[in-house]
A and B are shown apart, each in its own frame.
Chain A
């Protein structure tokens, strides 16, 4: 087992390094660079000689390999550099935005799981066939709504028309309600689909019939077996969720005026703020490999069938 773990950690480091290098090359391939975008901006009104002097001061025209080695060296020593757009140390920006995103994402994910469970149970236990079918198609509806549209509509209805919830200067908890819902709804859809499928499968298993024959109620049977079965796919999703949440979060953040990694990523790509992007990539890759490692190690714990296997499905 320990050899397996060391191997996995080696793999993880490799993924990290490739992600760092690939994103460095990708950024270099983009037209222009952060210093050009920032200082050639008419709002500053700088002349050509002044811009040339600044380019020189930032060393943006030095050879690529030199910039790469420097960036890599800085990262290895924990120096993330400065954000060109924000004009603050990158670490400062990450520290401001990570907790906000982590909170939004974890609450959003939790709510998504709850919605998904609710939908799955209703879709199986609802009294009429037509109602069950209708509920089963709700996940499809959820994935077909543009997230920004959903957010704007929620604000218009619940904040501006009904005035139930403030979006501007709200209380700590109040301010999270609508963003979390906006983030959770699209994520809940695929989860609900997995759960509905799981229930379908479980209910055809012979032991369910046995349990029922012994007098267990259908909902109890479903609850016991489905929840157990749903844990694995949910965990797997959590493993690849970070990147997806980022995409969802940027919209939620923009619509609700929140700060977070999503908006930071978008802004940094827009202005090619290399140091910030590199930090985000490394961080996100770190999360990805860590979560996957944990999920892989947990799989056998939750699924006895896998205990015999060395690895787990990717």
Chain B
């Protein structure tokens, strides 16, 4: 830290000599180089194969040590050049040609060339059975990569793949060295083996405890439109795994840490009172919600699902458990996402309407107040989803609200194995907690399409215990994934949002952010489009 002070003093002296009057806010806007940032992460990273970067602890590491072909501006959501300086797409979106920036090297000294990029995308797009690499979620219809010359590469798709350009900008598309991809998948949990081109390099790691990154002195290929070029301001980042919420916050406020991830809404006031900034970048995908599995006879009837939607007081949930950083959802899609349509008129809380719909559908209150039809009770089950903020509280409030109209909701906490199995069986789990972040309309297809995440558990998807199919929805999703015209594509995204809410498949609660807090002297903490931290522009002021 002494080096920071010296530098700042030097700059201060220079300015004073120049006769400038220095206000107290000086140092807030002139980046200072040096210092190690202590960053507290809630969970240890797992496998650092780039497509596994969806897991936040993984993304938080990968985003510093790998770069992507393109950069998605988090403000405009436009795709900008990064490792690729330019690209061309054919009319049918089946061929993408990228021109790489020259002079880029991996941290092991090997150059970034078309051959390495081809190997990366062939692995992400097709997987590698021998080394057990799974495919990447964001790359659809991938066929093969063609190396045109050292710095030019062409990707071929067997069907239109308009989401691919954005797919090259996501966390799961970080480019790693050929030596990394030569290792078996089962060895990529060791961060020291992930060789990227990023502004930071893994220096050392104690598995499950801490990870040390150091800045790459020769880094000079940040996203082209960044004003900051050259090496990162920080000398290094120390990630420390601190699972306890109270310890992370306490350590930040006590001056033992510089930045932390994951603060719950109820802890925000003490952070704000201490004058520490909170960052809550949105995840720009599908909102935190519950989705029904219509194959379950209890929720097969549209009227029942609609009634449950009307019986849900979403505002009470958000007001009770969350803060201004968790905006009430106004569609299934985040309001910060491309293709978002405001559908708040379809998301109304009206207990009387709910009761009327239940009655129409033939459900009448039984002796214990729980609705019954043909001797069956309206008794639903949902599993708590641990990664979602305060999900247990959300579901308990929901259960309380539904109980007021005679619906029983059992909230289950279970082990990972039973949970995974039960979630594949619509009879056991008529309702599921759903959320996914990605800043491209393709995310809707990812969520609902039976061959992807399959939220509604359709026939032909992940479960062999279901017969439910919504052909109209699936056709819309296929259209979304294949439509090359941007305007038309966004229009389809709107149609899908309407369809999902008209069918009451999903009840969205709030737009889920990733919440971070830093010490006041930490500046320039930025986030990629889906809320993963980027420390490239971060600097630590004298303190």
Contacts and interface: CB of A to CB of B under 8 A. Distances in A.
Interface of A: 30-33, 36-37, 39-51, 53-54, 57-58, 82-89, 92-93, 96-97, 100, 152, 155-156, 159-160, 163, 166-169, 254-259, 263-264, 270-272
A93 B38 CA distance: 24
Contacts of A57: 129, 132
A182 to B, nearest CB: 12
Of A88, A166, A270, the most chain B CB neighbours within 10 A belong to A88
A46 B241 CA distance: 27
A160 to B, nearest CB: 4
Contact of B418 (A32, A156, A169): A32
Q: Which range holds the interface residue count of chain B?
A: 35 or more
A152 B249 CA distance: 12
B188 interface: yes
Contacts of B521: none
Interface of B: 38, 40, 46-49, 51-52, 54-55, 127, 129, 132, 134-135, 137, 184-190, 206-209, 238, 240-244, 246-247, 250-251, 253-257, 387, 415-418, 420-421, 423-424, 434, 436, 446, 451-454, 461-462
A36 B423 CA distance: 12
Given A44-B52, A45-B436, A156-B250, A88 B417 contact: no
A42 B240 CA distance: 25
A257 B190 contact: no
Contacts of A87: 46-49, 185-190
B531 to A, nearest CB: 14
Given A48-B454, A96-B208, A254-B244, 7 more contacts: A37-B416, A49-B451, A53-B129, A54-B134, A85-B189, A167-B251, A258-B209
Given A159-B254, A159-B256, A160-B253, A270 B209 contact: no
B187 A30 contact: no
A151 to B, nearest CB: 9
Of A33, A43, A255, the most chain B CB neighbours within 10 A belong to A43
22 contacts: A32-B418, A36-B420, A40-B462, A45-B137, A45-B453, A48-B451, A48-B454, A53-B129, A54-B134, A82-B187, A87-B46, A87-B49, A87-B185, A87-B187, A93-B207, A100-B209, A152-B247, A155-B250, A159-B256, A168-B242, A169-B240, A257-B241
Contacts of B49: 87
A36 B132 contact: no
Nearest to A86: B189
Of B49, B51, B54, B420, the most chain A CB neighbours within 10 A belong to B420
B208 A36 contact: no
A10 to B, nearest CB: 36
Contacts of B247: 152, 155, 167, 255-257
